[in-house]
Structure 1
Amino acid sequence: MKIDRLSESAGVSKHPFPFDPTYGMDLDDLLKVSAPDNAPGDFAEFWQGMYRRALATPVQPRLGGKAGTTADGLDVFEVSFTSLGGVRIGGWVVAPADGVVERGFVVGHGYGGRGEPDPWLPVARAAGIYFVARGLPTESLLPGVPSEAPGHVLYGIESRDDYIIGGCVADIWCAATALTELFPATARRLDYTGVSFGGGTGALALPWDERFASAHLMVPTFGNHPLRVTLECVGSGAAVRGRYLEDPRVLEVLAYFDAATAARHVRIPVQAVPALFDPSVPPPGQFAVVNALAGPVEVRVATAGHFADYPEYEQEMLAAGRSMREFFAA
């Protein structure tokens, strides 16, 4: 595992939270955090079965009219496709304006959903699908499903077969199918990138889908749930922690949706960007995912995640972007 810092930052000097978002751990401590020991015996079988069902789903992608062209020369189109369970997913596809496509990207998002695609992809001559996971704004809202993170993350949590996070992972696989059907050349090399929510669901999706060649996971969530529910935080993690404190049996379901457990099955090259300070996704959970990755791993450590109030923030985000481009170009 190759490990570098994005900057020589001294860390976050002040913050508004009533708890310590470093959880008293430095980099050496975080590198020792492992995936949980209580993985279900049928963890792999559960996910392989879901993947087979997703792969058998007729995705029926529909490409809308051209919505514009980015400064990087990418044409933008609205897209929709069918995912597992017949759920219709929305988003955008971007492709080179000159029509030359040699590879593809499936791009995840954070728990806020997505209001538009990014104006660029990590490499040239690529097409990308910026899908929005089921139940999330703005393109994949569902009746009865909370669209805000604290409600969404609890939807169906009583059962592994109903938990919405499983469907969100299936949306990644079906997005990949939609992209390769619309742009067959993307099947030559397909990569994944996701941040936060998209980092965690990406870790859950990658082990079972051999179509993906490599991945970039930034501040991934859903890592080591037994540890995560003991750590005070904000956002979706606080909602899960609250439910656990009411009913500890919820860990029996969450065990099937642990990104760190899944990471033990990820053997493709991954560039990971965990943070040392994060009030929303506790760093021990992030590093549990990163430390468990079973294939070649490049780690670029950020000073903070889900928090921008420190001097090196912009410098680090630029460095992270450069590193991602270099990684996917290799």
Structure 2
Amino acid sequence: MIAADYATWFPDEEIDGTYGFDEEALRRVAPIPPRRGFAALWQGWNARVRAVPARFEVGEYTPIGVGAHEAAEIRYTAADGTVLGAWVARPRERTPRVVIVHSHGYGGRERPEFDRVPDDAAAVFPLARGLGALNVGIGAPAERDDHVVFGIEDPEEYVLGACVRDLWMTQNIADELWGPLPHYLVGESFGGGVGALALAWDDRFIGATVVVPSFGQYDERLAAPCHGSGEAVRRYVAARPEARELLRLFDASTAATFARVPVRIEAALWDTHVPPPGQFGVAAGFADRELMVLPAGHAEYPGRDDVLRRAIDGGREHLRRTMEGLSSRPQT
């Protein structure tokens, strides 16, 4: 662990990115217990998506630099009929043995990224409705603070649930492209929160790496002013307290308690965009977890490149062990 000096690292930051928590206190943050009907709602949504045939068109595959993969843009029809864009990628010279379902942060995604995708993996890169580069304004507002509260009055319409269902639909597409391979989730920030919401309900997932996840532990999240999407949610609930009960259905820390696969969590001690108590609340929810504690999240700091390299290596090793464990299970 790098010795952190936050006052020197972030001298102009007005928010204390620790929110008064040291690591010991963060490790005591508990997930939010499930609201009645929580599991049934998410299981029903997953069953609905799994029953929808994958309808999609694949563009031309293009090699990614000198790397091991080639990627193509796809257009597909979501479960609610919205037509969205995403990317798929396949190994150039190898037969894939796993699919990486790779979500993204609130900045959207400009292109596929392969740091966490092994050479022998296929990948789908869901791009959240409303967000760049392929789905700007489609199915949801493009502006972050409008996006995160879009449809919040109705669980069936709330954008976070829609984004999870879209992610599952890209898994259906992966099945059509490469057959019934195991799926491993990778998600950071927005994508980590959406990934944690998605993970427990779809048995194609064998594990995950979740990085500085959002949408976790709303008791802590709503008490913490921040620079991220949580601030728009905090202000919304302050003006409309009745929305707090709906958010109980979309708490990534609660969803994590239902996951039964190995999960690697990378959670930060300092973060002004996704407050650390929320991240550690998500981590606490996973029963089979490997925790890497980061000095800071959503920020540049001395030594960050080395931390990122170790994080990526650790995630790849977690996937390797997860696949190894899968192959060693007794066949039924």
Corresponding residue for residue 123 of structure 2: 128
Q: What pairs up with 1:142-153 in 2 under 5 angstroms?
A: 142-143=137-138, 145-153=140-148
Structure 2: unaligned runs, 5 residues or longer: 322-332
1:157, 1:163 within 8 Å by CA — same for their partners in 2? yes
Matched-pair contact (CA < 8 Å) for 1:157–1:250:
yes
Tell me the residue number matched to 1:318: 309
Residue of structure 1 in register with 2:159 after alignment = 164
Give how far 1:252 is off: 1.1
* Distance of 1:194 and 1:167 partners within structure 2: 16
Which residue in 2 is equivalent to 1:21?
17
- Which residue, out of 4, 16, 29, partners 1:10? 4
> Once the two structures are superposed, what CA deviation does each residue of 1:201-257 show, in whole Å capped at 9, x if it has no partner?
111111110000010000001011122111111121110011111111111111100
The superposition leaves residues 288-311 of structure 1 with CA deviations (integer Å, 9 ceiling, x where unpaired) of 0001112x2111111111111x21
Match of 1:303 among 287, 290, 295: 295
Q: Is the contact made by 2:74 and 2:86 (CA closer than 8 Å) also made in structure 1?
A: yes
State TM-score, norm by structure 2. 0.92
CA shift for structure 1 position 99: 4.6
If the length of structure 1 is used for normalisation, what is the TM-score?
0.93
Q: Which residue of 2 aligns with 1:224?
A: 217
Instruction: Calculate the aligned-residue CA RMSD, in Å.
Output: 1.4
Once structures 1 and 2 are overlaid, which stretch shifts more, 113-122 or 208-217?
A: 113-122
User: How far off is 1:8 after superposition?
Assistant: 2.8
Q: Which amino acid aligns with 1:326?
A: E
Of 90-99 and 230-239, deviating more is 90-99
1:257 corresponding residue in structure 2: 250
Does 254-263 or 131-140 show the bigger shift? 131-140
* 1:35 corresponds to 2:3: no
- 1:65 and 1:143 mapped to 2: Cα distance? 23
Contact 2:84 2:138 survives alignment (8 Å): no
Which contiguous aligned blocks of 4+ residues in structure 1 show a shift greater than 4 angstroms?
Answer: none
Please report how far the alpha carbon of residue 149 of structure 1 lies from its aligned counterpart in structure 2 after TM superposition.
Answer: 1.3
- 1:160 Cα deviation after fit: 1.2
* Equivalent residue, structure 1, for 2:109: 114
Identity of aligned residues (%): 36
Q: Which has the higher contact order (CA 8 A, sep 6+)?
A: 1
The corresponding residue for 1:3 is: none
Could you tell me which runs of 5 or more consecutive residues in structure 1 were left unpaired when the two chains were aligned.
1-6
What residue in structure 2 maps to residue 4 of structure 1?
A: none
Q: Note if contact 2:129-2:139 (Cα within 8 Å) is conserved in structure 1.
A: no
Deviation at 1:143, TM superposition (A): 4.7
Asked if 1 retains the 8 angstrom alpha-carbon contact of 2:103 and 2:192, the reply is: yes
Tell whether the 8 Å contact from 2:216 to 2:282 is kept in structure 1 after alignment: yes
For the Cα contact (< 8 Å) 1:12–1:303, is it kept in 2? no
| Pair 76,283 (structure 1): closer, same or farther in 2 beyond 3 Å | same
The answer to whether 1:213 aligns with 2:206 is yes
**Structure 1 position 199 matched with structure 2 position 195:** no
Choose from 318, 328, 331 the match for 1:327: 318
Structure 2 CA distance for aligned equivalents of residues 121 and 96 of structure 1: 14
8 Å CA contact 1:123, 1:329 repeated in 2: no
Q: Residues of 1 paired with 2:139 and 2:53: CA distance?
A: 24
1:78 corresponds to? 73
Cα distance in 2 between the residues matched to 1:156 and 1:325: 36
